[in-house]
Amino acid sequence: MSTEPNPEPNPAMAPDGDPEVYYLNMGPQHPSMHGVLRLVLKMRGEEILEAEPVIGYAHRAHEKMAENRNYLMFLPNTSRVDYLSGMIYNIAYCQAIEKIMDIEVPERAEYIRIIACELNRISSHLLWFGTFLLDLGGITPFLYCFDDREEILDILDSVTGSRLTYSYGRFGGVTMDVDSAFVARTRAFLARMRDERLPKYRRLVGDNVIFRERCEGVGVITRDVAFRYGVTGPCLRSTGVAYDVRRAEPYSIYDRFEFKIPTRVEGDTMARFDLRIEEMEESCKIVEQAVDGLPEGPIMPAKPKKRYRPPAGEYYFAVESARGHFGTYIISDGTDVPVKLKLRTPSFSNLSSMPDVLRNTMVADTIAIVGSIDVVMPEIDR
């Protein structure tokens, strides 16, 4: 195999003869960088002239692995793509295969999936909240968030056996049934979250003058930038576009639940913070409705298939992950191994907008801006 030697460097980053211009390298092992993200900043003084995110440090070749194994064997990979909202990715892959192969999912399994996915969304937002505040220098909120998040992990652990990398979904249902203890614990968590914790977070953090000063008007993503870069999720909704795959392209049984798609128009870091807090509330609402409506019955089809051979063709299936539009694109040739499986992950496109968003900002705001995007590097690098 032969290719060209090293590629040309990014022309936007080239020195332009200004003696004041210098370069700053952030990451991939910087303590306040998120995972293994590296940012190369071209600066004059404290102003960022150009920024170039460098990714790929956590590339694990998931799409290549998919071509090397049958559909069932790829299941454990899915939650490792984004280990912070792994349940959503795991269930999304199951839902894609079910849609292609016309596999009917029992009602109870659908409800359990909704509960698990929305709990996972809350835990993902909680982790973002905690680490984002940590980035800005606030240690205390982190301890509260992780207390809440730990409760979710325990609830999900009790039924899936895993804390993060769930392999809970199966084609047609879920592996384990939930019991009354699961339901009681979930209800208790919801009550604490809605009555005590979320109002406290709004008061403790959202109303904090120092916090607001650091976030308001900082890192504005305009609607135009979001559109051209394919930004989705809370980052897109912070620009006033009410796009949420759960509503725009309803899958599973999301059309049965009442919930709002919160939006803001400012597009700044503060808007993204407000949005995620509000989204946790909406997820609580969905979980509550699903727990109330949880029907009795089987959690798997009566006769699960032994082999899965999707009919030849190509398929696209999208869900709303905690970070935005997650698409699974599958090309099948009728065998039990995919010809191609592409994972369209939201953070990839969200992060790609950073050169535009960071241009002409101050270096001190970089951490706030990049933190507010909520990137998960393994999900970008796949």
Partner 1 sequence: MSKPRAEAEHDSDEHETEKMSRILGSSVAELAESSEHADYAKYGYHHVYLANIESIPEITRHFFDAGYLLEMVTCQDRRDDAGTMRLVYTFNHLAHLDRHLVHADVAADAEAPSITSLYQAADWFEREVYDMYGVRFSGHPNLKRILLPEDADFYALRKDFGRIEDAPQES
Q: Which residues bind partner 1 (CB under 8 A)?
A: 1-3, 5-12, 55-56, 59, 61, 63-65, 67-68, 99-100, 202, 206-207, 209, 212, 227-230, 237, 240-243, 248-249, 263-266, 271, 274, 313-318, 325, 327, 329, 331, 339-340, 342, 344, 348-349, 352-353, 356, 381-382
- Closer residue to partner 1 (CB): 182 or 229: 229
Q: How far is the CB of 331 from partner 1 (least distance, A)?
A: 6
Query: By C-beta, is 163 or 344 nearer to partner 1?
Result: 344
Shortest Cβ distance from residue 326 to partner 1 (Å)? Answer: 11
Q: Is 7 exposed, middle or buried (0-12, 13-18, 19+ CB in 10 A)?
A: exposed
Please report how close the Cβ of residue 151 comes to partner 1 at its closest, in angstroms: 26
Q: Which is nearer to partner 1, 166 or 211 (CB)?
A: 211
Determine if residue 324 is left, alpha or beta; phi over 0 gives left, psi from -120 to 50 gives alpha, anything else beta.
left
Least Å distance, CB 266 to partner 1, is 6
* 98: Cβ contacts below 8 Å, ≥ 6 apart: 104, 105, 171, 172
- Residues 318 and 320: their CA atoms lie apart, in Å, by 7
Closer to partner 1 by CB, 148 or 274: give it. Answer: 274
The nearest distance, CB 315 to partner 1, in angstroms, is 5
Burial of 18-39, coded b for 16+ CB within 10 Å and e otherwise, reads eeeeeeeebbbeeeebbbbbbb
Closest approach of Cβ 71 to partner 1, in Å?
16
Closer residue to partner 1 in complex, CB, 135/274: 274
- CB-wise, 24 or 61, nearer to partner 1? 61
Q: Do residues 70 and 337 touch, judged by C-beta distance below 8 A?
A: yes
Cβ 183 to partner 1, closest distance in Å?
A: 33
| Min dist. Cβ of residue 353 to partner 1 (A) | 7
Between 21 and 65, name the residue whose CB sits nearer to partner 1.
65
Nearer CB in complex with partner 1: 183/331: 331
Length of the chain: 382
